[in-house]
Structure 1
Amino acid sequence: MLSNLIDAHVRCLENLKTIAPDLKRTGALLLQCLLSGGKLLICGNGGSASDAQHFAAEIVGRFEKERRAYPAVALSTDTSILTAVGNDYGYDEVFARQVDGLGRAGDLLMGISTSGNSPNVIRAVKRAGSLGVKTVGLLGNDGGALKGLVDQAIVVDSATTARIQEAHIFILHYWAGQIEDGLPRNPGVQL
């Protein structure tokens, strides 16, 4: 059983080589957003919400290199906003309403969805587009509805949620490293 899971994991990650140019281009898009003074807004549900938090922490905090903080917000973390918007407007609006309040032209919204069909992520992406906020989808399966809605879609070719999530965190780490390599350093700052 363990050996089969490891083999499936390795195959899923090996498949990422086929989309390497898209991964690099998307990382450059994220970096450009930050260098231009924009912020990253990141949303997803369940494990994808955890990935959104994880990635935001690596942008605001750091990944592997010391540098100044950059703006990134996981839209799944404020329980008061989530419950108020969910109660007053419905759960499908919990991310879109935050995009309304936080998103500006020059920002970038990343929607993470293993199915590509999360209604609240779809609404957030549509709202972002109406505000001039660029959009990236980190998706799985066939990309779902989000694949055709985002400016840049990254689709992990797997139908297994666990393998998709494992690939997503690998991709997010790749982007965090790519971003850090392109950001200015803080000379003299030590860990």
Structure 2
Amino acid sequence: MSSTPEKGPAMLGAYLNPAEYLQRCAKEFEKLDLQQTSDLANSIYQAWQDGRFVFICGNGGSGSNASHLCEDLGKSTLDPADFTNDDAKRLKVLSLTDNTPYILAWGNDEGFDRVFVEQLKNLASPGDVLIAISGSGNSANIVNAVEWANKHNLETWGITGYQGGTLQEIGQHNLHVPLDDMGMVESIHLMLFHWILNDVYARINSVGRYAGQTQSEAA
């Protein structure tokens, strides 16, 4: 008979066997507001249409998800036939987690809380999109970036778990996984990001559910 922790950080795999763990994960899918996922795909597709930048940031596992989502959106929204087509319109996307020297300079000299917002000050323009990922919703460097982005007319998304934290309160839009297990939250985030990639790819390339539609009709 499995048990779950009453106190402390939840690590469900420490209490559940593989089958139970996956069953619990499946139950969490049923709790999601999937309109949030569709809306994030809409925002990214609109940024592609408008030629706006999509910036992504996160720490730890969420930082890895930020890099993963950036790589997917940057390369895999293209039809492979367009890889060498310089006229093909591409999504402008950048993960703020990957500029290591810049992050270390600001973190060492001025504090880690500023490593993302200072990059936005150099790179972002009104109308760009910021996707900020924080399982707890309370990471100071994430909150700082979103607060600045809100003040400078970017579209902001908070990607959260647990209770959503400050990020859920200040993000203009949210994608929330209401679960107190960081690993499972990050896994569900990544699964949803993969659906978003597929959806944006289908719209850009008029395939799948969007076959026969113009790119304007797919918006």
TM-score of the pair, normalised by structure 1: 0.90
- Does 1:96 find its partner at 2:117? yes
Give the equivalent residue in structure 2 for 1:117: 138
* Equivalent pairs, count: 183
Give the equivalent residue in structure 2 for 1:57: 71
SS of residue matched to 2:160: strand
Give the deviation of 1:26 after TM superposition: 2.0
Give the equivalent residue in structure 2 for 1:43: 57
Give the deviation of 1:169 after TM superposition: 0.3
Give the equivalent residue in structure 2 for 1:105: 126
Give the equivalent residue in structure 2 for 1:173: 194
Task: Give deviations 1:2-49, integer Å, cap 9, x for gaps.
Answer: 111111111122322xx1222212210121112101011000000000
- Does 1:31 find its partner at 2:45? yes
Give the equivalent residue in structure 1 for 2:104: 83
Give the equivalent residue in structure 2 for 1:147: 168
Give the deviation of 1:63 after TM superposition: 5.2
Q: Percent same amino acid among aligned pairs?
A: 26
RMSD: 1.5
Give the deviation of 1:170 after TM superposition: 0.9
Q: Distance in 2 between matches of 1:174 and 1:23?
A: 8
Give the deviation of 1:128 after TM superposition: 0.9
8 A Cα contact 1:43 1:49, kept in partner = yes
Q: Distance in 1 between matches of 2:186 and 2:78?
A: 21
Give the equivalent residue in structure 1 for 2:157: 136
Name the amino acid aligned to 1:181.
A
Q: Distance in 2 between matches of 1:174 and 1:64?
A: 15
Name the amino acid aligned to 1:53.
S
**Bigger CA radius of gyration:** 2
Q: Distance in 1 between matches of 2:20 and 2:26?
A: 10
Q: Which runs of 5+ in 2 are unaligned?
A: 1-16, 83-87, 207-219
Q: Distance in 2 between matches of 1:61 and 1:94?
A: 25
Q: Distance in 1 between matches of 2:135 and 2:76?
A: 26
